[in-house]
Structure 1
Amino acid sequence: MTTYSLMKWTVEDYHRMIKAGILDNRHVELLKGEIIEMSPEGTFHRFLNHRGVKYLRSILGNEAEIMESHPITLLDSEPEPDITIVRTPDTLYLNRHPYPEDIYWIIEIADSTLNKDLTEKKTLYAQFNISEYWVIDIQNKMLYIFQNPQVNDYQITKIHQEGVINPLTFPKVEIDVKKLIALE
Structure 2
Amino acid sequence: MTISLEKSSQSSLIFQQHDATWQDYVAVRDNPDIDWRKIAFYQGWLWFDMGTEGLGHSSFRDLMTAVFFVWAFLHPEVVLQSYGGCLIENQDTHACAPDLVLYKGEDIPKWKLGEPRRIILDRHRLPDLVGEIADTSLGIDLDEQKQLYASLGIAEYWVIDVKGMRLFAFGLTATGIYQPIQVSQVLTGLAIALVEQTLEKLAEGTNTAAANWLMQQLQTAN
Tell me the TM-score range normalised by the shorter chain. Answer: 0.7 to 0.9
Q: 2:157 aligns with which of 116, 133, 142?
A: 133
Residue equivalent to 1:8: 21
Mark the CA change 1:135 to 1:180 in structure 2 (over 3 Å): closer, same or farther. farther
Partner SS for 1:103:
coil
Residue equivalent to 1:71: 87
Deviates more, 1:21-30 or 1:57-66: 21-30
Q: Report if the CA contact (8 A) 2:28-2:34 is conserved.
A: no
The Cα shift of 1:67 comes to 1.6
The Cα shift of 1:182 comes to 5.2
Partner SS for 1:92:
coil
1:157 has 2:180 as partner = yes
Residue equivalent to 2:195: 177
The Cα shift of 1:81 comes to 0.6
Residue equivalent to 2:99: 82
Which runs of no fewer than 5 residues in structure 2 stay unpaired?
A: 1-17, 202-209, 211-222
Separation of aligned partners in 1, 2:187 and 2:166: 21
Partner SS for 2:119:
coil
Which segments of structure 1 move beyond 6 Å, counting only runs of 4 or more?
A: none
Separation of aligned partners in 1, 2:141 and 2:109: 29
Which runs of no fewer than 5 residues in structure 1 stay unpaired?
A: 160-164
Residue equivalent to 1:27: 37
Which amino acid in structure 2 is aligned with residue 157 of structure 1?
P
Report which of the two structures shows the higher radius of gyration computed on alpha carbons.
2
Q: Report if the CA contact (8 A) 1:127-1:151 is conserved.
A: no
Mark the CA change 1:113 to 1:51 in structure 2 (over 3 Å): closer, same or farther. same
Separation of aligned partners in 1, 2:82 and 2:110: 13
Per-residue deviation, residues 150-169 of structure 1 (Å, max 9, x unmatched): 56631x2147xxxxx4x313
Which amino acid in structure 1 is aligned with residue 41 of structure 2?
L
TM-score (norm 2): 0.62
The Cα shift of 1:125 comes to 0.7
Which amino acid in structure 1 is aligned with residue 129 of structure 2?
W
Residue equivalent to 2:185: 168
| Count of residues paired in the alignment | 170
Separation of aligned partners in 2, 1:98 and 1:7: 20
Q: Among the aligned pairs, what percent are the same residue? A: 19
Q: Report if the CA contact (8 A) 2:169-2:180 is conserved.
A: yes
Q: Report if the CA contact (8 A) 1:68-1:81 is conserved.
A: yes
1:97 has 2:97 as partner = no
Residue equivalent to 2:47: 36
Separation of aligned partners in 1, 2:35 and 2:139: 26
Which amino acid in structure 2 is aligned with residue 63 of structure 1?
V
RMSD, aligned CA: 3.2
Separation of aligned partners in 1, 2:128 and 2:71: 15
